[in-house]
Amino acid sequence: MNIDPHDYSETFIAEDSVKSAARARGVENGVTDVSQGTGAYLRQLAHQIKAQSVVEIGTGSGVGALWLLEGMLSSGTLTSIDDEMEHSSIAKIALSEADIAQPRYRLITNSVMDVMTKLTDRAYDLVVFRHNPEDLSFAISEAHRILRSGGVFVIDNFFGGGKVPDPAQRDPKTVALREAGKLIKGDTDSWVTSLAPIGDGLLLATKL
């Protein structure tokens, strides 16, 4: 039997029942959540960098928040931003079911761009972007401002459903992702960058 290594890695770390229930609510509400493999990787990353303060742009159903909080320091705080009240509401259910205390997270429902401008300079260890790619040029600039030196910016779903690597695909969201990749990769004075084939692609950029 020929097993695809990507499929194998995606299910290598199993989700618990709380994450599975949150993911099911997300499907019902048309939410794009982290893949299982992406969640496991983000947990590992948060643990490796001893993340204390994390920003998640695009709350979804709360699956991503659950993975991130598992990897963060127990004293850490996750700030998760979404412009859809319904997303924040179902994420709150997931966090409650996981018995995560309110001081460990902030769910903010408002314009992503408005909220990011209010975040403190050089105060965050990790920023995860899972939102409208057309906001990326703004988000990259703001992420660089709010991250500490050595902090990491992550663009989830960077492959855009497989469209980004195909130059024939020119819809606005795909072009925005492609241009964001070029921008970060080319700014070697600001970022150390890599691209990992996890989930639908993770672009990783460490702030210099």
Q: For 158-186, what is each residue's pLDDT tens digit?
A: 999 999 999 999 999 999 999 999 999 99
Nearest to 6 by CA among 197, 206, 182, 208: 197
Burial class of residue 91, CB neighbours in 10 A (0-12, 13-18, 19+): buried
The model's confidence at residue 59, banded by pLDDT at 50, 70 and 90, is very high
Report the C-alpha gap between 16 and 128 in whole angstroms.
22
Within 10 Å of residue 75's Cβ, how many Cβ atoms? 8
| Rounded Cα gap, residues 181 and 160, in angstroms | 12
Per the structure block, which two tokens stand in for 92? Answer: 């709150």
Q: Looking at residues 3-26, what average pLDDT do you find? A: 94
% residues pLDDT > 70 (the chain): 100
For residue 112, the model assigns a pLDDT of: 92
Given a cut of 90, whether residue 2 has pLDDT beyond it is no
pLDDT band at 3 (very low <50, low <70, confident <90, very high): confident
Q: What total number of domains does the chain contain?
A: 1
CATH code of 48's domain: 3.40.50.150
Contacts of 142 (CB under 8 A, 6+ apart): 113, 116, 117, 119
How confident is the prediction for the chain on average, in pLDDT? Answer: 96
Q: How many CB atoms lie within 10 A of CB 70?
A: 18
Distances (CA, A) of 38 to 4, 70, 112, 140, 183: 17, 13, 22, 20, 23
| Model pLDDT for residues 82-135, shown as the tens digit of each residue | 999 999 999 999 999 999 998 999 999 999 999 999 999 999 999 999 999 999
Residue 142 is predicted with a pLDDT of: 98
> For residue 137, what are the domain limits?
5-207
pLDDT of residue 1: 72
Query: 3-class secondary structure for 135-148?
Result: HHHHHHHHHHHHEE
Bridge partners, 56 (sequence order): 80, 128
Q: The tokens 């964001």 sit on which residue?
A: 180
User: What pLDDT shows up at residue 115?
Assistant: 97
Summarised one tens digit per residue, pLDDT across range 63-86 is: 999 999 999 999 999 999 999 999
Q: Is the pTM of this model over 0.85?
A: yes
Tell me the CB-side half-sphere exposure of residue 52, using CA atoms within 13 A.
Answer: 6
The pLDDT of 51-62, averaged and rounded, is 98
CA distance 10 to 102: 30
Distance CA 173, CA 160 (A): 8
Closest by Cα among 13, 19, 96 to 61: 19
